[in-house]
Structure 1
Amino acid sequence: MSVTLPSVLVVDDEPRSVEVMARVLREEFDVHVAASPAEATEVLENHWIQAVFCDQRMPGTTGVEFLTAVRNRWPDIVRIIVTGYTDPEDMIEAINAAGIYQYITKPWHPDQLLLAARNATQLFAMQRDYERLSLELKLAPPVAEGRLLRQRERVQGSYHFSSIIRTPESALNETCRQAAKVAVFNIPVLIQGETGTGKELMARAMHYAGPRADGPFVAVNCGAIPDELLESELFGHKKGAFTGAYANRRGLVEEADGGTLLLDEIGDISPAFQVKLLRFLQEGEFRALGANETRRADVRVLAATHRDLKAEVRAGRFREDLYFRLAAMVLTIPPLRERPGDVRVLANHLLDDACLRHGRHVRGFAAETTAALVQYGWPGNVRELQNEVLRMLVLAEHEILGPELLSPAVRNPAGEGTACPRTAMDDADDIPASGPLQQRMDMLEARILMETIVRCGWNKSRTARELGLSRVGLRAKLDRYGIVPDAEKQTIQ
């Protein structure tokens, strides 16, 4: 690939001087020559010149006069005077009138001439870059604003209520209708529903349909964070507030300022933290751990839970005043088993999405497969359905996903025509009647682990509490049996 050399112009009425300068400069530059200002002007009009070397003493005009005219018409061109006369007045006039970059005296050294040409063309390039960047900076705000607006429109479209997959007869339609009404009001809303029903998706749709759509949406899973760290996560901390606090840290409440804060699994927080959260909801004030000053944040609080908070209030495990602070409006998302008509459209949508993400192509489900999906009870709701569809896609060898790809629990649900999934205990009959005891016990333990963690929506803290394990112990068992969300049900077949 050829490289374009920088262009320079040498102007001198002495042919010998022009020839010598041109010969030196042609080592690194595309050189144009002119014997008079008139010829030089013609060259400038027809070529992209970056620097001009001009003799000071020429018939009819001086180099300063010519370079002054060049400055007026082509101000970006770097101008250099070459002369055998060192009159200080000429030098001052050249610098002031023509904006001369450099003054070279005769006799000059070739290295001096080359260095002057290199510096002049580099200066020209930097000037052009500066002008280009200045123009881009002027255009940057409207361009960035346009990009941000288009991105925001795409996000809002992705989380619009119409993007929540359901049928016209779905039991979810009434919940979406209520959510759309309450979204425009700046009031707290409690979203109830089983794990995996899409509570966070509903909260995002409310955020982008409300007056705070231009602000941030911040979600925190209160059940997944130990109580002693939840306060720091929400309200932040100062350096040295506790062991490991090596720097100041903003909390999620402050990050959500001007937007929406989703407190997911709010029913899992401890009574002690309920008091701290209540103060923030009442006053809009909070104090970071280790800080003395109180700060304020303007956030809309949405809460979500799989628990029946009214029952928790009656049982004394959840503060009544906190419940009413959170539940100005209560939305309930029905589980997937109560809207079997949605299973078909959801499965097709999830399959299309999985094919796109994983680069696979299939035509769809066999009729028997769809019937089995609709019949199953889906205790893990949409999240479990998503895992089942992904599992089938991974195992598929044909363009139609047949019923043989279904998990045993989905393919053979317990009871005739019921929507209840089989449990690990129900599958105990599938354990071999012979073989080492430890191997058979491991199979049963793996199935119990899978059933429990799916029912808990892959929340490891809740699963560990239910099984009486520590989080470390649960993680070790999950690793041992290879139980991960994308591999759901492969371990327990």
Structure 2
Amino acid sequence: MKSRPCVLIVDDEVRSQEAIRRVLREEFDTLTAASAADAEALLNNELIHVILCDQRMPGESGVDFLKRVRDCWPDPVRLIISGYSDSENIIAGVNEAGIYQYLTKPWEPDRLLEVVRGAAELFRLQQDNQNVSVELKRAAPALQQTIAEKRRILQHHYAFESLIHAPDSPLARLCSLAMRIAEYDIPVLITGESGTGKDLLARAIHYSSPRREGSFVAENCGALPDQLLESELFGCKKGAFTGAYEDRIGLFEQADDGSIFLDEIGETSLTFQVKLLRVLQEGEIRPLGNTRRRRVDVRVIAATNCDLEAAVAARRFRPDLYYRLGAFPLHLPPLRSRPMDIPLLAAHLLERTAASFHKRITGFSETVLARFKSYAWPGNVREMQNEIQRMVALADGPVLGPDLLSPRLGSAGVANAMDTPQPSGQAPTDGMTLKEQVESFEERIIRDTLRRHGWNISRAARALGLSRVGLRGKLQRYGLERVN
């Protein structure tokens, strides 16, 4: 069986270690260390793919520790978690410590998992690159053929057919429209809730366009402060800012003759928006610290899960940038609005997951499919993928039954009936265990409280007598997300 990537969690707080382990345990092996010395002992004896380090540790900062790690153990991909007050220190040490990305506290479980997945994939690519370099001279005559073959594989993998849907699905018309505009070199703005597949749609547009032979690069614009985001996108010159120890080629330059995908564009600051608008208008970038401009020919595909028109009206987003990016808007509908896609999508995800987990699974029971169809899927396709991965991991037989469902899916009919008034004010409880009834009641209270407070997490947490972290944990558990 193929071994899983190993993540080393370096944090002196046991609760923090356990919280991170719970998020990662289904996809990664984890090791923990409470100090730099413990971490170094593990690095000497274990194959570590990713290091996830807290910034504030006794004795030395996480950045200082990772600087030493870069010199002695350069292979693991380094991540750091920091409080907002530490951002300047992190920025100063990012390049010197070779930090791939950092997360701010309080971190979101989905975001943490997404970043660690990216780090593990980067480790794999780095190892592949080293192996390729060793074999490069031997394989030189066939190199171009290999690159062409990889491009053909990517074009097939990210074709519009990868967006699974039924013939009568709203996605069918959307894909048909996207295919028609793919060949024209105009910006595209993809909107939709988190987990609906905006990244897949962006890749399908690129690999169906005349730019398919060029690079496709992506950046989550909401994950980085302005200076780091500018450095990532536009590049920087050595010494441009504290921590810039080498020249850096930005993603716009890497995507020359290709496409760049700017995810979560609605989370950027007004200051950054001005700089991005200038790049889009002039077709030129100026790396930080450099006086010379460089022309780039890049197609921009942007995405957001927020209402940009409302952000423009509230003066949180520049109207000129909005109109520049939104030359052709595409809206990905949430999974709850296309129930006809659920059986096909579930079967596709099951096949892929079973193969990945090396398990022989033939399908779902009728009860499970009925629960899938009746559930609202606030986390959309990403939530369904996580649910199926959980079921496959726990399965002992070839058919996935209702006993494998998570609590929120186990009472899907009840969860979706919450918004419908019930006789004498009671929720349906037939066939539910006491634990399921209590969870259903708790979920309904949390949802009602969030609605009363306009989905403001801080105010709702105070009303419920919970901490923000505690409330976010329950939102994650029940898959609650603002849908109105």
TM > 0.5: yes
- Matched letter for residue 390 of structure 1: Q
User: What does residue range 167-246 of structure 1 map to in structure 2 within 5 Å?
Assistant: 167-246=166-245
Partners of 2:182 and 2:458 lie apart in 1 by 36
Match of residue 394 from structure 1:
393
CA distance in 2, matches of 1:389, 1:252: 34
Counterpart mapping for 1:45-444 below 5 A = 140-141=140-141, 143-413=142-412, 415=414, 418=417
CA distance in 2, matches of 1:194, 1:353: 23
Q: Which amino acid aligns with 2:311?
A: E
Q: Distance in 1 between matches of 2:150 and 2:460?
A: 42
Which is greater in Rg?
1
Deviations 1:302-350 (A, max 9, x none): 0001112112112211111101100110001110000011111111111
Distance in 2 (alpha carbons) for counterparts of 1:293 and 1:320: 28
Preserved CA contact (<8 Å) 2:273 2:318: yes
- TM-score scaled by structure 1? 0.58
Classify the secondary structure of the residue corresponding to 1:190. strand
* Inter-CA distance 177–148: structure 2 relative to 1 (3 Å threshold): same
Deviation at 1:418, TM superposition (A): 4.4
Flag the 1:463–1:388 CA change in 2: closer, same or farther, 3 A: farther
Equivalent position of 2:50 in the other structure: none
Q: Which runs of 4+ in 1 moved over 6 A?
A: 136-139, 462-468
**Would the alpha carbon gap of residues 490 and 345 (structure 1) be closer, same or farther in structure 2, given more than 3 Å must change?**
same
Structure 2 unaligned residues grouped into runs of 5+: 1-135, 421-426, 428-433, 451-455
Measure the CA separation in 2 of the matches of 1:466 and 1:299: 44
Q: SS at the partner of 1:197?
A: coil
Paired residues, number: 320
Matches within 5 A, 1:468-479: none
Distance 1:266 1:464, change over 3 A: farther
CA gap 1:279/1:315 in 2 versus in 1, 3 angstroms = same
Asked if 2 retains the 8 angstrom alpha-carbon contact of 1:337 and 1:419, the reply is: no
Q: Distance in 2 between matches of 1:321 and 1:281?
A: 11
* Contact 1:375–1:419 (CA under 8 A) maintained in structure 2: no
- Deviation of 1:155 (Å): 1.0
Alpha-carbon separation, structure 2, partners of 1:273 and 1:224: 13
The residue type equivalent to 2:318 in the other structure is R
Does the Cα contact within 8 Å between 1:375 and 1:418 map onto a contact in 2? no
Q: Distance in 2 between matches of 1:491 and 1:184?
A: 38
TM-score in terms of structure 2 length: 0.59
CA distance change for structure 1 residues 219 and 467 in 2, over 3 Å: closer, same or farther?
A: farther
In structure 1, what is the Cα distance between the partners aligned to 2:457 and 2:295?
Answer: 36
Query: RMSD between aligned alpha carbons?
Result: 3.8
1:165 is matched by which residue type in structure 2?
I
1:135-158 C-alpha deviation (Å, 9 max, x unpaired)? x989944x2222222221111010
Measure the CA separation in 2 of the matches of 1:413 and 1:221: 32
Please give the secondary structure, in 2, of the residue aligned with 1:321: helix
Which residue of the partner structure matches residue 133 of structure 1?
none
> In structure 1, what is the Cα distance between the partners aligned to 2:170 and 2:349?
20
State the distance in 2 between where 1:463 and 1:417 align.
22
1:413–1:419 contact (8 Å) kept in structure 2: no
